[in-house]
Amino acid sequence: MDDAVAPSNGPDRIAFYTLRWITRLCDGVGVALMAAMLLLIVAAVIARDLLALGLPWTEEMAPMLIIYAIGFGSISAWVRSEHLVVDLFSHRLSGLAKNVQYRLTALISCGFFALAAWGAWIMSDVSSNNTTVSLGISFSYLYYGVFFSFAGMALIAVWQTLRGPVAWLEAHHEEEVD
């Protein structure tokens, strides 16, 4: 998306820059969280093996960091349409059929994402009284990361359903295929 040409004017130009900003933000935060998780694990190993110190709280923080990193990464991948896709017949469809397929896929995805976000929200409410052993952090914060991820992708899927395919994203994917 970084090398795509922005539309000349109108709502598509605003959507282009908004989605590019969201993608860059999610990429940056996701990479920072992954780096923090790796540093946390390395620090725990060094503390345990070299200094004979136990850091049990690192075992509670690492899953939380990775859940949020995956959440930010999944939003970024959804904006770029880089999630794994099995494309058996789309390249043979006409322009109208491709548009309908794109919107139908986005609508079904939106429904799935909304359902998953709702489930994460329910789980965060149910687990609000359960806390981790070392840090006493509520398990709800784990589910908030899952909720954030699916809610973000649901919002983008709503936009994809309403807008349909955009030339500045399709041109980027055609270059990758060639």
Predicted confidence at residue 170, as pLDDT, reads 62
Spatial contact of 100 and 165, defined as CB atoms under 8 Å apart: no
DSSP annotation of 87 reads -
- pLDDT top residue among 8 and 151: 151
- Alpha carbon distance 13, 18 (integer Å): 8
For residue 103 the two structure tokens come to: 């919107």
Predicted confidence at residue 52, as pLDDT, reads 81
For residue 24 the two structure tokens come to: 């860059």
DSSP annotation of 6 reads P
Spatial contact of 64 and 142, defined as CB atoms under 8 Å apart: yes
53-62, 83-92, 102-111: the lowest-pLDDT one: 83-92
How far is residue 178 from each of residues 102, 171, 175, measured CA to CA in Å? 21, 11, 5
- Sign of the alpha-carbon torsion through 137, 37, 83, 1: positive
Spatial contact of 177 and 122, defined as CB atoms under 8 Å apart: no
pLDDT tens per residue, range 100-156: 888 998 999 999 999 999 999 999 999 888 888 888 888 888 899 999 999 999 999
The predicted model gives 78-85 an average pLDDT of: 80
- pLDDT top residue among 114 and 50: 114
Helices (H), the chain: 11-49, 58-80, 95-126, 140-163, 167-177
Predicted confidence at residue 53, as pLDDT, reads 84
Predicted confidence at residue 94, as pLDDT, reads 83
DSSP annotation of 138 reads B
Match 């993608």 to its residue by tokens. 23
Spatial contact of 124 and 144, defined as CB atoms under 8 Å apart: yes
Q: Is the pLDDT of residue 174 over 60?
A: no
Average pLDDT over all residues of the chain: 85
Q: How sure is the predictor about 178, in pLDDT bands with cuts at 50, 70 and 90?
A: very low
The predicted model gives 56-64 an average pLDDT of: 86
Model pTM? 0.80
Q: Is the pLDDT of residue 168 over 80?
A: no
The SS3 assignment for 81 reads coil
14-28, 65-79, 125-139: the lowest-pLDDT one: 125-139
CB atoms within 10 A of CB 55: 17
